[in-house]
Amino acid sequence: MPRPYPAEFGARAVALVRAGRPISRVAVELGISEGGLHKWVRQDRVDHNELPGVTTSECADLRAARKRIRELELQAGILTRASAFLAGERSHPKGAPGDRQARRRRAAGQGVLPGPGGQQPGLLRVPGPPGVGDPRCAASG
């Protein structure tokens, strides 16, 4: 993106046009684009209440307000996530992958210490008819 011209340069160019010189001639003499000079002249007319529009000072205020709103929204999001984390709604900010692995081990019967008599707590193995539930049997259902 090209560097902007200094404010004084633009003000002098607009002053030349307001003095009655043609925009095309001023643009050529100053080495700037005619379209850019048109924009500067139009903005100057808005700033002097000759045309409806947003003045330069209003534009700066709006830009600052939008920046502040973005900062506040970011802070609010951080505070919301932090309060949810500290309240214990989620034990880990990324969804606790360790908990998922522990559930898988428990479901597979791994990672649980055997209780008295060699049995795992909470699991009761009841023998069924032969072949039912046996992965080695093709007719297992």
Range of the domain at 87: 55-95
Residue by residue, DSSP assigns 93-136 as: TT--HHHHHHHHHHHHT-S----GGGPPTT------STTTT-TT
Number of independent structural domains in the chain: 2
Q: Do the beta carbons of residue 105 and residue 111 sit within 8 Å?
A: yes
User: Are 22 and 45 in the same domain?
Assistant: yes
Out of 1-15, 17-31, 87-101, 115-129, the most confident range is: 17-31
Q: How far is CA 15 from the centre of its chain?
A: 43
pLDDT in tens, 34-54: 999 999 999 999 999 999 999
Q: How many Å apart are CA 70 and CA 76, to the nearest integer?
A: 10
- pLDDT over 80 (residue 17): yes
pLDDT in tens, 51-103: 999 999 999 999 999 999 999 999 999 999 999 999 875 555 555 555 666 66
User: Are 48 and 15 in the same domain?
Assistant: yes
Q: Do the beta carbons of residue 34 and residue 23 sit within 8 Å?
A: yes
Helix axes of 34-47 and 7-18: crossing angle, nearest 10 degrees: 80
65 within some domain = yes
105 within some domain = no
Question: Which residues make Cβ contacts (< 8 Å) with residue 99, sequence separation at least 6?
Answer: 91, 92
Q: Specify the pLDDT at position 110.
A: 56
Both tokens assigned to 121: 């707590």
User: Quick one: 23 exposed, middle or buried, by C-beta within 10 A (0-12, 13-18, 19+)?
Assistant: middle
User: Are 12 and 46 in the same domain?
Assistant: yes
